[in-house]
Amino acid sequence: MKAPLKVHLALFSVSLLYGATFTIAKQVMPQYVQPNAFILLRVLVATVLIFLFHSVFIKQKVKDKKDIIKFAIGALFGVAFNMLLFFKGLAITSPINGAVLMMNTPIFVVIFASLYLKEKLTLNKIGGIVIAAVGAILLMGGKNFQFNSNTVLGDIMVSANAIIFAFYLVYSKPLMQKYHPLTVTKWNFIFGFLVVLPFGYSEVLQIQPDIFTPKIWGFILFVTVGATFLTYVFNAYALSHASSSLVGSYIYLQPVLATFIALFSGKDTLTWEKLFYILIIFIGVFLVSKKTKVAPSENI
């Protein structure tokens, strides 16, 4: 079926929030909050908010107790390992390397979806992902990124994160269709919190909130509520109504929105060249989401 407008709005919001996070999070880490502590704060705040919203508005119980194990597995890939590898890898490699390597996520989503969910590989999906990937890489610097021995460990971590998150988008889709998206997300974060707690506990104790300015508090609120709670809820909603390939393809919009955010903040300038790269990305995402004449059972 064709993804409804609400799905595209949800995925666009996710890309917008993530696009702003790269700039905002760097103003908090590591001067005010260490990476693992920030991850623990993100997961803790999101877990509390999701639990409260679910308890008040959803109140859905787990139908099959065996699904609890599936929720735990989803938590490892979608919350714990995903966040820990990305933040640690980004600290070692360069921002450009990290951004380029994250572009592998939609590619692996298509591969996993075809193997695990039996989603049909259409020319629109393959071509759209390739086109959007080229546009995203060019927009983020083209030949300005490079891999060397100084960044190899970080590059491996970010690459592993891209693969892990791609698997999560595919693995969790059947659960999103069986349960309310907020039910799946709630359990993912409960288990995810238990995993990241040992990694971030000692760093949280080192936080000195008395040196936080109102701006820093605002940045932390944005990352924990906006870039964590809302993004996971929106992604979960999208996964329950659209293909994993479409959800994954929206990652290509993140550098576009990050560019516009940099423009509005006066940290970048807009050129015809950048506009052309942005257009390429939009064409690619459009092709992935474009409805094709296939059997009714295919998810598009």
Distances, alpha carbon 66 to alpha carbons 70, 186, 213, in Å: 7, 16, 46
According to the model, what pLDDT value does residue 93 have?
74
Tokens 């592998």 locate to 104
**DSSP of 124-193, one letter per residue?**
HHHHHHHHHHHHHHHHTTGGG----TTTHHHHHHHHHHHHHHHHHHHHTHHHHHHS-HHHHHHHHHHHHH
Exposed/middle/buried for residue 290 (C-beta within 10 Å: 0-12, 13-18, 19+): middle
pTM score = 0.81
According to the model, what pLDDT value does residue 141 have?
62
Residue 142 falls in which region: left (phi positive, over 0), alpha (psi -120 to 50) or beta: left
- What is the DSSP code (8-state) at residue 62? P
According to the model, what pLDDT value does residue 147 have?
60
The domains of the chain are located at: 5-120+145-244
According to the model, what pLDDT value does residue 206 have?
94
Would you write out the chain's pLDDT as a tens digit for each of its 300 residues? 456 889 999 999 998 898 787 678 878 887 899 889 999 999 999 999 999 999 999 999 998 989 999 999 999 999 999 889 987 887 777 666 666 677 778 888 888 888 888 877 778 878 888 887 787 777 666 555 566 667 788 888 888 998 999 999 999 999 998 999 999 999 999 999 999 999 999 999 999 999 999 999 999 999 999 999 999 999 889 988 888 878 888 887 877 787 777 777 766 666 777 778 778 877 877 777 665 544 433 333
According to the model, what pLDDT value does residue 113 have?
87
